[in-house]
Amino acid sequence: MNFAVDHPAVLLLLPLAFLPFVATVFAASGYPSLTAVPRDRLSFATDIGLHLAGALAIAAIVFGLAGFHRREQPVERIGNGANVVLLFDRSSSMDNSFGNRLPSGSEESKSDAAKRLISDFVTRRPHDRIGVAAFSTSPMPVLPLTSRHDTVKAAVAAIDRPGLAKTDVGRGLVLAMTMFDENAANASRAVVLVSDGAAVIDRRVQATLRSIAARTPLNLYWLFLRTKGSRGIFDPPDPRQPDTPQVNPERHLHLFLSTLGIPYRAFEAGSPQAVEQAIAEIDKQEMRPLAYFERIPRRDLSSLCYAIAAVAVALLALAKLAERGLAERYRPALAPGGKRG
Amino acid sequence: MMPRAVRDFRFALLAAALVALCVALARPSWTLPRPAYDLLLVVDVTGSMNARDYMLDGNPAARLDAVKKTLRDLIARLPCRSRVGLGIFTERRSFLLFEPVELCDNYSVVDAAIASLEWRMAWEGDSRIASGLNSAMEIARSLDADLVFLTDGHEAPPLPASGAPPFEGEPGKVGGLIVGIGGGSLVPIPKFDDMGREIGFFAMADVPQENRLGLPPADASSRPGWHPRNAPFGGEAPRGNEHLTSLRGEYLQTLARRIELGYVRLQDARQLEAALAENASRRMIETAVDLSPIPAAIALAALVACYGALPLSRLVGPQRGTSHISHKNERTTS
């Protein structure tokens, strides 16, 4: 258990709790000799109990004042989910609609549709740890893997901002595949690449990707937002043109990713509805048991301290009310003796 | 019959302590307005930010590292319920990484995101600060946040003779400040190869020393080799210090005045926070202040007085106490 105080300096008052052992709240009565008092276990226990009550009351108030609390702590639970890295293409073509125009009327731009649907995806998967990366002319780590989905949604909301010129998908994939930390080791890991185009991957980067894929078990999804009229992933190449990565980058990226030796699926989505179906499919695939941490928020225990102190003080006050002086009871009997003295 | 304890001051103190504890248990609170900020932090990650003219823990540190450390300190100091977003600036554009999020819940993520900023995120060698600032202002306006733009003011390539591109937005709409990074003396800029390894420093011939777009400057005709048609900028290769870098404070101040932002030179998080208080718009939020320590402290004082009063009074007036007891003893023994 993780207990802590906010103001440790206040704990310097703790020695005050010894006060009840050297002083008393009860009236002292004179008595000739303590040996004359019969031994009585109940009285003895009451005596100790009242001292302890006083000490407890003082100590509890000091702890309450110091801000005694149980720290926020993660508790491991098992749920369904995955470690997911969302890798976004932030090139400027994402700002067009699926019909490759500037969006007008009720049309959505590709990045708008991706933003809305992926936001929903994040909302539906409360137990996932999600990281975000983006690439354009260069790869950019945006958020490390986190279970704080507010920030993830804020990063997803930023993907429809005006993007940059080029598409360096290879280095983007390298970045996304190396974002999994050791905490993600035992659960399923997935990279979701969201892009509307592809580019030739440098041969050196290809080698890096292969070696990472061999070392890191992960599932790769490519959500390809296909623009009307553009080449698709699965289209057979045009026989009149050479079938090279420069001419058909999408097809060749797909071919390359299929040879990585990791579970890989590509979804080609030509409309917001198709994107929705693809995301639903990923959602279904990535539902495996996952140990995730739920944060139990910090619990303030000062109220508990005050309650304990209140009970102890109430006991003392009751005992005080029940107090009867020796002198009062015996004064009539002693009175003649006094006269005699 | 009334218990005799009721007349005892110690019973009164015990009762007072009990009442005070009950008040503390009721958790009285007071709402106070506290300031919170909505900020968009935009960090320059261009090449000149790799110049090492800061010291961190006794080691020379790149400007970018100094910025990251200060920003991480800053978000730890900002009041709860402030919102912070992050963006980077390189080439001619600011690029939003994530929109402002509530800081206290998401502190660790925001902290990690700031820590992972690096120059490799830059996509071009260019550093057109005025354009980047304009786009950062536009992003901040759309997010309804104040802008904190951290840069060294090193324009690359140098500005043309006509000066910085104009600001097309409405000045004064977005609050915030420009933070100047870098030292006062010229330092070399590290150079990296394609794989990100440092391979030396930029030399004079590596970077354009003069912007030859647009009209030549007015004094061009006095340059050697000048010819109005064949060599309007003069006949010799321009020389200059563009491959070295220092904080261009005056230039940044001009930019800041033009768009009505504050300007401050980076020192530490405390100074940055003070500058924010002056230049950023504050959003007042009601924060409940727990008042229960006050009655609890009263209860503690009453208890201590209760236990301590008698021994203390004996210490002060030992004569009375002992005589009283001896008198009693006398009476009971006799």
Q: Is the same domain home to A304 and A315? A: yes
Q: Of the candidates A251, A147, A300, which has an alpha carbon nearest to the alpha carbon of residue B105?
A: A147
- Taking the CA of residue B295 as centre, how many other CA atoms within 13 Å lie in the half-sphere pointing to its CB? 23
Interchain contact B284–A (C-beta under 8 A): no
CB B220 within 8 A of CB B126: no
Q: Of the candidates B105, B99, B62, B69, which has an alpha carbon nearest to the alpha carbon of residue B84?
A: B99
- Tell if the CB–CB gap between A143 and B112 is shorter than 8 Å: yes
* Residue burial B146-170, b: 16+ Cβ < 10 Å; e: rest: bbbbbbbbbbbbbbbbeebeebeee
Q: Which residues of A touch B120 (CB under 8 A)?
A: 138-139
CB-nearest partner of B296 from A26, A61, A158: A61
Q: Is the same domain home to A165 and A245? A: yes
- Domain of A237, CATH number, reads 3.40.50.410
Query: Given a cut of 70, is residue A341 above it in pLDDT?
Result: no
CB B107 within 8 A of CB B71: no
Query: Given a cut of 70, is residue B3 above it in pLDDT?
Result: no
Residues 67-126 of A with CB under 8 A from B: 90
The pLDDT of B187-209, averaged and rounded, is 84
Q: How confident is the model at residue A38 (pLDDT cuts 50, 70, 90)?
A: confident
The structure tokens 């890989």 sit at: A264
- Domain with A9, as residue range(s), is 3-71+298-340
Neighbours of B28 (CB within 10 A): 13
Q: Which residues of B touch A27 (CB under 8 A)?
A: 5, 8
CATH superfamily name and code, B32-207+242-288: von Willebrand factor, type A domain (3.40.50.410)
N-term to C-term CA, chain B: 31
Backbone angles phi, psi at B69, to 5 degrees: -65, -45
How far is the CA of A201 from the CAs of A23, B89, B231, in angstroms? 83, 26, 43
Residue B81, phi-psi category: left (phi > 0), alpha (psi -120 to 50), beta (remainder) = left
Per domain, the residue ranges of chain B are 4-28+292-333, 32-207+242-288
A105's CB contacts (< 8 A; 6+ apart) are none
| pLDDT value of position A136 | 81
| pLDDT value of position B324 | 42
Residue B234, phi-psi category: left (phi > 0), alpha (psi -120 to 50), beta (remainder) = left
Give the span between the Cα atoms of B22 and B16, in whole angstroms: 10
Q: Is the same domain home to A145 and A210? A: yes
Q: Is the dihedral of CA A205, A207, A210, A212 positive or negative?
A: negative
Segment among A63-72, A179-188, B125-134, B310-319 with least mean pLDDT: B310-319
Using DSSP's 3-state secondary structure scheme, residue A254 falls into helix
Of chain B, the percentage scoring pLDDT greater than 90 comes to 26
B73 CA: distance to closest CA in chain A (Å): 19
How far is the CA of A156 from the CAs of A116, A132, A267, B51, B96, in angstroms? 9, 8, 20, 32, 11
- Tell if the CB–CB gap between A341 and B14 is shorter than 8 Å: no
* Residue burial A64-98, b: 16+ Cβ < 10 Å; e: rest: bbbbbbeeeeeeeeeeebbbbbbbbbbbebbbbbb
Whether residue B160 has a cis bond before it, omega within 30° of 0: no
Residue pLDDT, tens place only, A126-146: 888 899 998 887 888 899 888
Q: How confident is the model at residue B320 (pLDDT cuts 50, 70, 90)?
A: very low
Q: Is the same domain home to A259 and A156? A: yes
B227 CA: distance to closest CA in chain A (Å): 38
Give the span between the Cα atoms of B93 and B136, in whole angstroms: 8
Residue pLDDT, tens place only, A219-235: 899 988 887 777 777 87
Q: Which residues of B touch A131 (CB under 8 A)?
A: none
CA triple B117-B119-B121, angle to 5 deg: 70
N-term to C-term CA, chain A: 66
Q: Is the same domain home to A106 and A244? A: yes
DSSP for A157-199 reads HGGGS--BS---HHHHHHHHHT---GGGTTS-EEEEEEES---
Interchain contact A322–B (C-beta under 8 A): yes
Q: Of the candidates B19, B31, B16, which has an alpha carbon nearest to the alpha carbon of residue B291?
A: B31
CB B74 within 8 A of CB B118: no
Interchain contact B21–A (C-beta under 8 A): yes
Interchain contact B126–A (C-beta under 8 A): no
| pLDDT value of position A241 | 80
Residue pLDDT, tens place only, B46-99: 888 888 989 888 899 999 999 999 999 999 888 878 899 999 988 888 889 999
Structure tokens at A316: 């003392």
CB A146 within 8 A of CB A180: no
CB-nearest partner of A144 from B3, B116, B333: B116
Q: How confident is the model at residue B323 (pLDDT cuts 50, 70, 90)?
A: very low
Query: Given a cut of 60, is residue A327 above it in pLDDT?
Result: no
Q: Is the same domain home to A83 and A48? A: no
Interchain contact A157–B (C-beta under 8 A): yes
Segment among A9-13, B84-88, B220-224 with least mean pLDDT: B220-224
Interchain contact A320–B (C-beta under 8 A): yes
Residue pLDDT, tens place only, A175-205: 998 888 776 666 788 899 988 877 888 888 8
The pLDDT of B25-44, averaged and rounded, is 89
Cβ pairs A/B, distance under 8 A:
180
Neighbours of B54 (CB within 10 A): 20
Query: Given a cut of 80, is residue A20 above it in pLDDT?
Result: yes
Q: Is the same domain home to A232 and A95? A: yes
The pLDDT of B215-235, averaged and rounded, is 82
Q: Is the same domain home to A55 and A131? A: no
Radius of gyration for the alpha carbons in chain B, expressed in angstroms and rounded: 33
How do B29-36 and B283-290 pair as beta strands?
antiparallel
Q: Is the same domain home to A114 and A9? A: no
The structure tokens 């006062």 sit at: B184
Residues 141-200 of B with CB under 8 A from A: none
Segment among A96-100, A328-332, B81-85 with least mean pLDDT: A328-332
Q: Which residues of B touch A57 (CB under 8 A)?
A: 17, 303
A28 CA: distance to closest CA in chain B (Å): 9
Q: Is the same domain home to A158 and A283? A: yes
Give the span between the Cα atoms of A312 and A321, in whole angstroms: 14
- Tell if the CB–CB gap between B100 and A30 is shorter than 8 Å: no
Give the span between the Cα atoms of A294 and A288, in whole angstroms: 17
A279 CA: distance to closest CA in chain B (Å): 22
Q: Is the same domain home to A94 and A187? A: yes
Give the span between the Cα atoms of B201 and A146, in whole angstroms: 38
The structure tokens 């001009």 sit at: B254
Residue of B nearest to A26 (CA): B10
B163 CA: distance to closest CA in chain A (Å): 25
Q: Is the same domain home to A204 and A306? A: no
Using DSSP's 3-state secondary structure scheme, residue B90 falls into strand
Q: What total number of domains does chain A contain?
A: 2
B104 CA: distance to closest CA in chain A (Å): 11
CB B167 within 8 A of CB B258: yes
Residue B124: beta bridge partners? none
